[in-house]
Amino acid sequence: MWVLLKGGHVIDPAQGIDKAADVLIRDGRIAEIGKIDVQSLNSDPGEVYDIAGKVVTPGLIDVHVHLREPGEEHKETIATGAAAAAAGGFTSILAMPNTKTAPDNRAVVEYVLSQGKRTPINVLACCAMTKGMEGKEMAELGDMFDAGAVAVSDDGYPVQNALVMRRVMEYASMLGIPALVHCEDKLLSADGIMNEGITSTIVGLRGIPAAAEVSMVERNIMLGELTGCHVHIQHVSCAGSVDAMRRAKARGLKVTCETCPQYFTLTDEALVDYDTNTKVNPPLRTSADVEAVKAGLADGTIDIIATDHAPHSAEDKEVEMTIASFGMVGLETALPLVITKLVNEGTLTLSQAIEKLTIAPAKLLGLNAGTLTEGAPADITILDPGAEVIVDSSSFKSMGRNTPFNGWKLKGAVAATIVGGTFAYGQLSPVGEKCEVLSR
Ligand code: DOR
Ligand code: ZN
């Protein structure tokens, strides 16, 4: 059984490919990229899709997704989160551990992975650093690694105790998995709601200084150096963190980092309307921070673009700013925001943007993914970078409606998402006709 994607433009940063080419899939794997004659394949049964005008990339990988299962299935389930991911062009996602209960033991890791297997995409598990994510006692990392966890994180409940973090990093280093760190000094961020600055003073909401993030970025970089652990800084939001990362990389340390679309698209001025969908942690910062994040993306200091997809229910968001939950959904808006705000505005080429969404996250997690190399699993995203998208949160596959981007007109649509050679999202028209999305 084969599938031929004919007439598209292939971008595979891992192989330095950025050219018009056909892609042949055989038995769920990439068989060939180049000019492929249909006649040569006709002896076996197969399908041909005409994708002229579309861009073919390795399937997108998101290393920062909140799926809320087990425990808060009214916000999102592994199934709905995976459907949202597929609609957003993601073929692999890493589930964050701040669920209730948390994957701080083998059984919960196994549960997440087994529910993930029932979805059309690859759901990977990230285990908690500490028991109950309380930051006090290290969880059974070895056991959870054995059960299939590919990373460890304190996302949402940052480990404050440096000695506990040191021990976690020592174990993660021994297991060969990265420590994904949420950098926040809770004493400094206190009960803050938004970035501390002129805007927080004007709107009258308690501020979170950038130093609450930067001081922990510096601490975690130091602990990574001390332990030999691969430290990956999550959701970089401000200039100070970009600067710390740039210096750490210049020193040759084993560090990587990610940012998310909200941090290169919005500033803290988005909070002047008191829209709780703009309340995220870390908070939206100033325009100088946005520029620093973009500069970090452009010069390679920021390796990865992740979403921090954080679905919440209306009950958690349609309340006063002070008590609303932190977070916004991101899986179904990430790609159009990347194309509109980074590629079309000149910060990154499309190939550089795809690199940060494919091979860079694959390398972080040690996955056999993120590239269209011959023999690799056929995880593929087909994009229409020029197509207009009007964000409509009511049509999201995610159960979360909490986005500040509702109604935004963006460029860059996902035409289809293919996982292991099978369509996980979108349907293309048969050969000879112009490729169209038949269902969403
Ligand atoms: O905005 C956020 N939402 N930041 C976090 O660190 C956690 C996340 C969540 O779980 O909702
Ligand atoms: Zn998160």
Q: Specify the ligand 1 atom closest to the Cα of 312.
A: 11
Cα 17 to chain centroid, rounded: 23
Mean of all residue pLDDT scores within the chain: 96
Helix axes 210-227, 239-250, angle to 10 degrees: 20
- Report the pLDDT averaged over residues 320-328: 97
Q: How far is the CA of 156 from the centre of ligand 2 (A)?
A: 6
The 8-class DSSP code of residue 403 comes to: -
- Report the pLDDT averaged over residues 246-252: 98
| Cβ neighbours for 346, distance < 8 A, ≥ 6 positions apart | none
Residues 194 and 188: their CA atoms lie apart, in Å, by 13
Question: Which residue from 1, 3, 16 is spatially nearest to 372, judged by alpha carbons?
Answer: 16
Domains of the chain and CATH, by start: 2-56+376-388+405-425 (2.30.40.10), 59-365 (3.20.20.140)
**Smallest-distance ligand from the CA of 67:** 1
- Dihedral sign of CA atoms 88, 133, 179, 147 in order: negative
* 64 pocket-lining for ligand 1 (C-beta < 6 Å): no
Give the end-to-end CA distance of the chain in Å, rounded to a whole number.
25
Q: How far is the CA of 214 from the centre of ligand 2 (A)?
A: 17
Q: Specify the ligand 1 atom closest to the Cα of 234.
A: 6
Whether 261 contacts 163, CB under 8 Å = no
Residues 183 and 133: their CA atoms lie apart, in Å, by 15
**Does an H or E element contain 250, and which?**
helix 239-250
Strand ranges across the sheet with 60-65: 60-65, 90-95, 122-128, 151-153, 179-181, 231-233, 255-259, 304-305
Residue 430's pLDDT is what?
62
The answer on pLDDT for 435 being more than 50 is: no
Catalytic site residue 379?
A: no
> What is 281-315 written as a DSSP string?
SSPP--HHHHHHHHHHHHTTSS-EE---B----HH
User: Does pTM top 0.85 for this prediction?
Assistant: yes
301: Cα within 13 Å, side-chain hemisphere: 21
- Report the pLDDT averaged over residues 389-418: 98
Q: Whose CA is nearest to atom 2 of ligand 1?
A: 327
**Smallest-distance ligand from the CA of 126:** 2
Q: Whose CA is nearest to atom 7 of ligand 1?
A: 156
Q: What percent of the chain is modeled with pLDDT above 90?
A: 94
Residue 433's pLDDT is what?
40
Question: Which pLDDT tens digit goes with each residue over 22-46?
Answer: 999 999 999 999 999 988 887 788 8
Catalytically annotated residue among 22, 154, 268, 308:
308
Q: How far is the CA of 428 from the centre of ligand 2 (A)?
A: 33
- Report the pLDDT averaged over residues 269-292: 98
Whether 193 contacts 164, CB under 8 Å = no
Q: Specify the ligand 1 atom closest to the Cα of 325.
A: 11
Q: What percent of the chain is modeled with pLDDT above 70?
A: 98
Residue 432's pLDDT is what?
46
Question: Which pLDDT tens digit goes with each residue over 215-241?
Answer: 999 999 999 999 999 999 999 999 999
> What is 381-402 written as a DSSP string?
EEEEEEEEEE--GGG-SSS---
Question: Which pLDDT tens digit goes with each residue over 357-400?
Answer: 999 999 999 999 999 999 999 999 999 999 999 999 999 999 99
- Report the pLDDT averaged over residues 89-114: 98
Q: How far is the CA of 96 from the centre of ligand 2 (A)?
A: 7
Residue 43's pLDDT is what?
75
